[in-house]
Structure 1
Amino acid sequence: MPFPSTGELLVRGSDPRLALDPADGRNHYLCPPRPEPGLLRFGSSTATTIDTHGWRIASAFRERLARLHATEGKERALRRTTEQIRRTLADLCGLDDKVGITLTESGTFAHRLAAKRICRRSSRPLQILLPQPSETGRGVPEALSLGGRLPLHTFTLRLPDGAARDAAAIDAEVVATAQRWIDEGAALLLVVVDCSKSGLIAPSFPVAAGLRNRFPGRVHLLVDGCQFRFDTERLRRYLAEGAMVAITGSKFYAGPSFSAALLDPGAERTEEPVDNPGLLLRWQVALEVMERLQRLPRDARSAFIADFHTRLGGRLRREPFLTELPAPGGDRTILAFIPGGAEAPFTLEESMALHRMLQLDCRPAVQLGRPFPAGSHPQGGALGALRLSLSAPLVVEALSDDDQHSIVDQAMRALDCTLAVGHRLRRAGGGDAVE
């Protein structure tokens, strides 16, 4: 049997969202398993179509793995390649051998694995407290509750109108809830999101770490870092405080979906191979980007991200048709907004239609972060927010080619297209226009 092609490996795995639609050859996130020249790639908060550089990395990796498979056999090839991916990830993140690294297909799988491990380590009944799923992931509650077997509770990050809740109020709610469950004799798995779909960070990590230190063995921490938009110093601080951290290579680092890992300071590094060459290939693409980003001066990276956020945020605030969703104290590489204007904001369904039209029917095609429910719509249902997201490859491109204005101009063009298609959709009567 011939070794799978690069395109086949990009979609190989057990997550059903990897499957390609026979009608258009795209996965659940509208990404084809091949580059799309001319695509404006600002969808890294959800998924990014592989670019030509990533395709070359993936193809070279596939060739190396195929040779190993032919000369050393499947098991040895996967074992050697798995260890190489784990070692590279650990080196780039500055992790020692005391941090266990489990590669898995998605952040959802990483959450499930974390819950299973905490259950094994805790002698008390476990309660789970996490941010609202609309800001993290629809599959996260089921994963953390192990299919409904563990009691699960959520706290909101945004108010019904989409405005961010006061961070101190969130922290106070989390502390009060944790204290109540501790008093009742339970243990707690507290999930900190850094960052959410709209760029928020909550609860504050010092508060979460304080609870763990105050109730050792009773409060366990999991950082949902699946966007992986923080630096490796912050990652190591999380781990040093005893928190597990779920990360992915497919959000900020724009590797092909799906590639994730659970970092666990309470587990030794394992030597078990990953029996999924597609997962290994997808991680390899992300790790190459991570390495290129780290070679750039930190000050230059920070300055470009700040300038991008200022200029694009200013544009959003000047457009009556687009309502910005600020993330005070949060991440600066995600700009969330609700189309339609303050008087007639788009519903989630309308924003879904706009998102699809931008990627499939617009020239140039525009890839934005998949819409999410950002509050309550005045006429019922949910408000639908889109996200314009800066990715590591775009930062690398801007700084390596000294072409920062080009990346900003591309983002401005993406907003131009969003306005044009959004107005057309509104005139046509909303979501029905794309049927």
Structure 2
Amino acid sequence: MAQSSALAVFHFLKRPDLRCVAEETRAAIVAGRCASTFDISGNTPDRMRLVFPDRTLQAGPAWTIRHGLELSLLLEGLLTQETGQPSLPLLLRASFAAARTAALFEALDEGSGQGLPSPEGLLLMKGDEPPPSSVLMRIWKTLETHLPAGMKSATTPSLPLFEAVFSWLTKVWALIGPLEVLMASGGDARLQLDPRSGLNHYGCSHRPRPWAATFASSTASSVSERGFAAAERVRIQLQRALLYDCSHSTLLETARNVRNRLARYYGLPDGERVILAPSGTDCELAALAIAEMNPAHKPVTNILIAPEETGRGVPLAAAGCHFATDTAHSPHVPRGNCIEGFGSIAADAVEEVRLRNPDGSEVDEAILTEECRTHVERATRAGRHVLLHQLDLSKTGLLAPNETALEAFSKKFGQDCDIVVDACQARLMPSRIGGWVQAGRAVMVTGSKFFTGPPFCGALLLPEAWRSRLDHGVLPAGLKAYAGCGEWPECAATHNLSEAVNHGLILRWTAALAEMEALASVPPLETRWRLERFLSGVREAMAQCPDILLLDTPTPVRAVLPESWDDMTTILSFLVRAPDSNDTDAFIPLELEKTRLLYHWLNADLRPVFRPDEPERESVVAGLLCHIGQPVAMPSKALKGDMAGALRISAGARLVSGEPIHAELSTEVRLAREIADARLILAKISLICHHWERIARYDPLPTYAPATLSVPAPERSLSQQNGEK
């Protein structure tokens, strides 16, 4: 981004979403007089000037700035690509694409339209379909005013030209938009933002949220500034490719690049060993489909480990059934019905092995191993092929079966038993995962748990034997609703899949890979020290909080690797004392449904709950937005067998690598501030417990930003901008 003398004080740069976009343009952003909401001048990328009224740069509205940034980025692409001035059809495409992006941004933005109403043209560009050509012609009169003088047409373009633009917009409409909209596509309904809160089902955002205290990597995290910037660069490439009708090839190439980067990270030969999928549950479908291609073509028995601690849809996916009411490529599917092509497995061929006893304690390792062996032996005797899961880790940090048992199963049952590792938490050394694949196990990973990438980016890593099946078998036809060819290796089996490339998935993985590669730049022993420093500080804080009971989680038992850090417990699960219990009594945990309420209230600004004269209203704790791991159902003896809710504070990759904007902070100072944030979260839990009834009557809604700030200022606390923020 070209700098002007006043740029450093422009108010919009306090917003990480706008700052990341602004850093991608070469245009000089300046304050000045404008004939419209903004002006662009210059006929080369290096001489372009993006001019806004001074008031706009200081106070918004944000959509105007976003519109100007988008148009400048598209014009830069045209000026770089073309030998002369861009043609009128290209200028029309760029102008309407920029307006569409600004319209969607305005619809998402908190406090949008302040001080300046959005024009009619912008409103018309928000719809599910593009406006008709006659309306486009009317909108163009406004959009043309933003173009440099040398690019403006001397005469009004003809109606056939606008009809051609309408035809083009119809084809690419779903691919045009700001990053935070495009990243929300290609998953399921859980990715969609609640318009009341600006957050998705997981309580996080596809915009950076540095003012929130976040340790939610066991569930999902809001995108970081590093991840947002990386994905934004890919989005810009896509938007420029749209203008030249080459978006499909661009997306295919980007998908190959993502698969190759994942392969390098895990030490695999190439991206042909990687399948991309929106979620771990989608990975389950892929694993089942390949297991059904077993050499003997036997029907499959699928053995799951603790599906209650992985994902609610996993048992359905394990049976080859639709696990939700929508998919990445289809808005409506019949949840629970068998997916076309998964004919050899029935619901009664899914076996579940529990990790916990009815009182919440762990099942003894020997008992669990014996249960797995019994299931495998029974299935193989019945002439079935087995897909056995290894869980590493569960939502509360447990793993099973152990390595000794799995090696014995592989030796005894050979080709009759496929093993897939559910490593979706990804709290593992990359070399360990690569070693499993080399040893013949498939591995499910995500970029959205430990790595703190956006939710809904999963992958299945294939051993050689699994990959070879794809050259001879055929995938179920019903997988077309879930996956496209670009997310899978090039093979004979994928001819049933969709031709469309899941652009939302590719953008989310791009953001996650930025975090993965940042973590890889930290030496393993330093990673271990940083994790230990944070975790010991949080454990100490929990021990000092009377409203918290830290659950005992065993240290993961894994084979020793040089300089490893993955033998640490990085998910701290805890129960919360019920508000109506006496502090002197035995610890009575909060039941599951109430824990879910507390989880939502943590992510809300509680200051409006209190009167102006009450100290709680002015406290940092009440206004702090806190995002931690979602409650996990936990059987409780104290609740006479009813379920308590275990919340989680987790250490993720971003905690280790930090954010680039905090590079000048020493590691010790940064981690101390992370621990301070965790202490504030515990303090907010206590505040909620002590004012439960009042807060329940108010029932505050989680929000993207604090309730009293229309444009949040992240400098409130540096400690809330790093780590998993």
Structure 2 counterparts to residues 336-415 of structure 1, below 5 A: 336-340=573-577, 343-362=587-606, 363-376=623-636, 378-379=639-640, 381-397=642-658, 401=665, 402=667, 403-415=670-682
CA distance, structure 2, for counterparts of residue 133 and residue 15 of structure 1: 20
Query: Out of 296, 317, 333, which is 2:570 matched to?
Result: 333
CA distance, structure 1, for counterparts of residue 379 and residue 695 of structure 2: 46
TM (norm. structure 1) is 0.92
Change in Cα spacing, 1:277 to 1:134, as seen in structure 2 (3 Å) is same
Change in Cα spacing, 1:213 to 1:99, as seen in structure 2 (3 Å) is farther
Task: Name the aligned partner's letter for residue 263 of structure 1.
Answer: L
Q: How many residues align?
A: 433
Structure 2 counterparts to residues 120-131 of structure 1, below 5 A: 120-121=293-294, 123-131=297-305
- Residue of structure 2 equivalent to 1:244: 442
Post-superposition shift, 1:153? 1.6
- Residue of structure 2 equivalent to 1:277: 503
CA distance, structure 1, for counterparts of residue 650 and residue 696 of structure 2: 23
Q: Deviations over 1:62-116 (max 9, x none)?
A: 1122223434612211111111111111112211138621111111100111111
CA distance, structure 1, for counterparts of residue 543 and residue 356 of structure 2: 19
SS at match of 2:386: strand
CA distance, structure 2, for counterparts of residue 75 and residue 416 of structure 1: 50
Q: Deviations over 1:204-244 (max 9, x none)?
A: 13312320221111111111111111011110121122111
- Residues 82 and 274 in structure 1, CA contact (< 8 A), matched pair in contact too: no
Change in Cα spacing, 1:162 to 1:99, as seen in structure 2 (3 Å) is farther
- Residue of structure 1 equivalent to 2:415: 217
Higher strand share: 1
- Residues 628 and 650 in structure 2, CA contact (< 8 A), matched pair in contact too: yes
CA distance, structure 2, for counterparts of residue 28 and residue 46 of structure 1: 11
CA distance, structure 2, for counterparts of residue 242 and residue 198 of structure 1: 27
Post-superposition shift, 1:175? 2.2
CA distance, structure 2, for counterparts of residue 162 and residue 430 of structure 1: 30
Structure 2, unmatched stretches of 5+, are 1-168, 322-337, 339-345, 469-487, 557-567, 579-585, 607-622, 701-725
- Residue of structure 2 equivalent to 1:16: 189
TM (norm. structure 2) is 0.57
Please say which of residues 278-287 and 89-98 is displaced more in the overlay.
89-98
SS at match of 2:197: coil
Deviating beyond 6 angstroms after TM superposition, the runs of 4 or more aligned structure 1 residues are 429-433
- Residue of structure 1 equivalent to 2:364: 166
SS at match of 2:691: helix
2:362 is equivalent to residue 143 of structure 1: no
Post-superposition shift, 1:376? 4.1
Task: Name the aligned partner's letter for residue 343 of structure 1.
Answer: F
- Residue of structure 1 equivalent to 2:12: none
Post-superposition shift, 1:432? 7.1
Task: Name the aligned partner's letter for residue 409 of structure 1.
Answer: A
2:290 is equivalent to residue 25 of structure 1: no
Please say which of residues 162-171 and 354-363 is displaced more in the overlay.
162-171
Please say which of residues 99-108 and 294-303 is displaced more in the overlay.
99-108
CA distance, structure 2, for counterparts of residue 432 and residue 178 of structure 1: 52
Task: Name the aligned partner's letter for residue 134 of structure 1.
Answer: E
- Residue of structure 1 equivalent to 2:458: 260
Q: Deviations over 1:44-76 (max 9, x none)?
A: 111111233332222222112222343461221
Please say which of residues 305-314 and 365-374 is displaced more in the overlay.
305-314
- Residues 134 and 374 in structure 1, CA contact (< 8 A), matched pair in contact too: no
Q: Name which one, 1 or 2, has greater alpha-carbon Rg.
A: 2
Task: Name the aligned partner's letter for residue 63 of structure 1.
Answer: I
Structure 1, unmatched stretches of 5+, are none
- Residues 226 and 514 in structure 2, CA contact (< 8 A), matched pair in contact too: no
2:227 is equivalent to residue 54 of structure 1: yes
Post-superposition shift, 1:263? 0.9
Post-superposition shift, 1:300? 0.8
Q: Deviations over 1:337-394 (max 9, x none)?
A: 1111653211110110000000023421100001110224625641111110111111
- Residues 262 and 271 in structure 2, CA contact (< 8 A), matched pair in contact too: no
Query: Out of 687, 695, 699, which is 1:434 matched to?
Result: 699
Change in Cα spacing, 1:274 to 1:338, as seen in structure 2 (3 Å) is farther
- Residue of structure 2 equivalent to 1:301: 527
Structural RMSD (CA): 2.4
Please say which of residues 155-164 and 234-243 is displaced more in the overlay.
155-164
Change in Cα spacing, 1:164 to 1:315, as seen in structure 2 (3 Å) is farther
Post-superposition shift, 1:275? 0.8
SS at match of 1:417: helix
- Residues 548 and 576 in structure 2, CA contact (< 8 A), matched pair in contact too: yes
Structure 2 counterparts to residues 9-158 of structure 1, below 5 A: 9-71=182-244, 73-97=246-270, 100-121=273-294, 123-147=297-321, 149-150=346-347, 151-158=349-356
